[in-house]
Structure 1
Amino acid sequence: MDAEEYLGKSRLFRRLKNGPHGQLIELYIARVVKDGLARQGMWRCLNLVSGLLSWLSRRHRELNGFDERVLEQYLTYRAHKQSIQPGDRAALKRLLSLLRDTNVIPRAPLPPIPPEDQIFRKFAGYLRDERGLAPKSILRHLPVIRRFLREVCPAGAVDLGKIRQDDVVRYVERHVHDSSVASGKAMCTALRAFLRYLYYNGSNPLALAECVPSVRRWKLANLPTYLSAAQVQKVLDDCDRTTGLGRRDYAIVLMLARLGLRASEVATLTLDDIDWRSGTMLVRAKGRQQVRMPMPSDVGAAIVTYLRNDRPVSSCRRLFIRTLVPHVGFTSGCAITMIAQMALKRAGISGCAHQGAHIFRHSLATELLRSGATLSQIGQLLRHENHDTTRIYAKVDIAGLRTLGLPWPGGLQ
């Protein structure tokens, strides 16, 4: 039963439509239909709105006084009468958004911006305009700078000029070992950028960036974590391809395994990026690269199956979208990483340093190297800007490295 047929038979919808808020109910249900809710979801939304209107009427309160505070009061009241489902708050927030869009109630006042966020906004503008950093790179600085400001500058901008060398050194010494060596280096990089910004705009008279201690980490010291070809195939075989969700996740994992895409690259793929005539796809890679890559036949077949049978109807142009409403694309590569983690868990693969999407990238590079591909070819496929990034895979080619070993002076032992 589709939405139109259900609404035509629903007595609850007819009663609300013929009531004092009939026009609002029609607008609300139109938004619910647009979001792609199924019949049960529509009934739940109408039931919630009906209960809310009755609750307001019994308390002699008008709908134009509805806001987040009243929403929570109603949910608390409803929780004493019956169970609250996960989508109930979202259904009422949908009504709240509609009331504001139609000017029935005023817009919610903007919350006050914390002092550290005010500083970071200006710093983000400096990184974007003066340093040319991408938005994702700018956001990586946020946790470091927020913690630094809360510890060293609790009064906000007033304390920026009071930062001294000892404050910076002591802060790094306190937190450099909080996580991995790579996280410590990233923290110091963010601090240097922020201290350069303070000197650049005159907030601090001292050039403190040079006093940030260095974190020692040898380049190419670690071996890349990878799966064998048999393990990768087991991960793919254990994907549940009997359901729409499983077929979507299978197409995603297959793309990670065959093309070595990063999680963010999969998440940002759109329907327009695929050229079915040439069998290629446009990948928005790291460093603002746009690379057109060939699409293997099995990847193309998995995508076609997903598009024909399982992708929900949506105006969103992202290739892979959420199965739950609203049917929109993933906000970041984190969802792709979680899909990869679940696939590895289903296959019983554990004990790897990386348990996410990137392990398939390492596995592809390692398998290509053992099959005779050159480092230059692998770097081109993986879209590496630096040859040193690709060179780390040479360390997993044990057979090739044995040919470079010199004979032991004392003979065979």
Structure 2
Amino acid sequence: MNWEEAITDYLHYLRLERGLSENSVRSYRRDVRKLAGYLAENEPGITPKSIDRKDIEAFIHHVGTDLKARSQARLISGLKGFFGYLIFEGYRKDNPMDLIEAPKLGRKLPDTLSVEEIDRLVAEIDRSAPEGERNLAILETLYGCGLRVSELLGLRLSDLFFDEGFIKVTGKGSKDRFVPIGPYNRECILRYIREVRPHQQPQAGFEDVVFLNRRGRGLSRAMIFTIIRDLAARAGLRKNVSPHTFRHSFATHLLQNGADIRAIQQMLGHESITTTEVYMHVDRTHLAEVVREHHPRKFS
């Protein structure tokens, strides 16, 4: 088995068995090909079956000077997954990554926007322009439903269950979940669908996509980033605002207002509660207030 064969098989496994998104598959492919490229230049005789810990350590040392700690940790994690797959398929008996330690990382707390800052962003939308109502609906959906940008782009007209008060969201691993949608968010989307979208003439294959560009095709990730960053600049926000900032703000504001973290976990589509718990940092004084208000032995 050579590297290209092993990588091809691994990518099939990630897509078919684990159901990972193409973005995730590309990241894993990049990790393994970086290792394979290094070996092709320095140790061309080493195969996926014969590589050992010393070879891995030499590679990590080689790339370490060019990678930040977080990128290095992600690379090591990706390679562990690759060799774990080779063991699973019976190509190897051991994982050469077992004794390779990733850099210690502090947990990066997500950026959030206040309600006032979100209002400032929304106020900068030029609703007299054809794309204004669309952009308003996009921002309100990112913030109102806590969607990832990929989930927003994948939203279909057939996913809108407004009478029931929900939208169906296809998340990571093609897993569907139903997320509540508020009346204002619903009206923003409906106004765009009724007043703007009929003039966009969807191209073949995009008839069911909610948010379209001027050519009647789905929007790109880059376009969503551009829309948000332009609005942030006009609003005078100094924060690094991205689509994910709205998702963070959605979860943070729900938690601050007393929402149950398990409910937030379900709405965000997190498999593990530990992923959601990163939002517990946002307001320690609020948590103390909850204890004072609800615990049977209240503080004096």
TM bracket, shorter-chain basis: 0.7 to 0.9
Select which of 343, 356, 380 maps to 2:242. 356
Select which of 185, 209, 215 maps to 1:318. 209
Q: Does 1:273 align with 2:162?
A: no
Deviation at 1:191?
A: 1.0
Partner of 2:260: 374
- Tell me the TM-score normalised to structure 2 length: 0.81
Q: Separation in 1 of the partners of 2:138 and 2:201?
A: 19
Deviation at 1:217?
A: 2.6
Partner of 1:210: 98
Q: Separation in 2 of the partners of 1:381 and 1:126?
A: 28
Partner of 1:296: 182
Deviation at 1:296?
A: 1.8
Q: Separation in 2 of the partners of 1:116 and 1:207?
A: 16
- Tell me the TM-score normalised to structure 1 length: 0.61
Q: Separation in 2 of the partners of 1:393 and 1:196?
A: 31
Q: Separation in 1 of the partners of 2:264 and 2:87?
A: 42
Cα displacement string for residues 263-320 of structure 1 (whole angstroms, at most 9, x for unaligned residues):
1110100111112433421111234331222322222222222222322111412111
Compared CA separation, residues 206 and 362, structure 1 to 2 (3 A): closer
Cα displacement string for residues 90-125 of structure 1 (whole angstroms, at most 9, x for unaligned residues):
xxxxxxxxxxxxxxxxxxxxxxxxx96555222212
Cα displacement string for residues 233-277 of structure 1 (whole angstroms, at most 9, x for unaligned residues):
111111111111222122111111111111111010011111243
Which one scores higher on RCO, CA 8 angstroms, separation ≥ 6?
Answer: 2
Aligned residues: 283
Please tell me the residue identity of whatever aligns with 1:389.
Answer: T
What secondary structure does 1:208 align onto? coil
1:87-106 equivalent positions in 2, closer than 5 A? none
Partner of 1:104: none
Select which of 33, 49, 69 maps to 1:146. 33
Q: Separation in 1 of the partners of 2:112 and 2:100?
A: 35
Please tell me the residue identity of whatever aligns with 1:318.
Answer: V
Q: Does 1:384 align with 2:270?
A: yes
Partner of 1:64: none
Partner of 1:237: 123
Q: Separation in 2 of the partners of 1:245 and 1:367?
A: 28
Q: Separation in 1 of the partners of 2:90 and 2:232?
A: 51
Structure 2 gaps of 5+ residues are: 292-300
What secondary structure does 2:178 align onto? strand
Deviation at 1:389?
A: 2.0
* Identical counterparts, % of pairs: 25
Compared CA separation, residues 364 and 207, structure 1 to 2 (3 A): closer
1:324-363 equivalent positions in 2, closer than 5 A? 324=215, 327-330=216-219, 333-352=221-240, 355-363=241-249
Q: Separation in 1 of the partners of 2:178 and 2:263?
A: 15
RMSD: 3.0
Structure 1 gaps of 5+ residues are: 1-114, 405-413
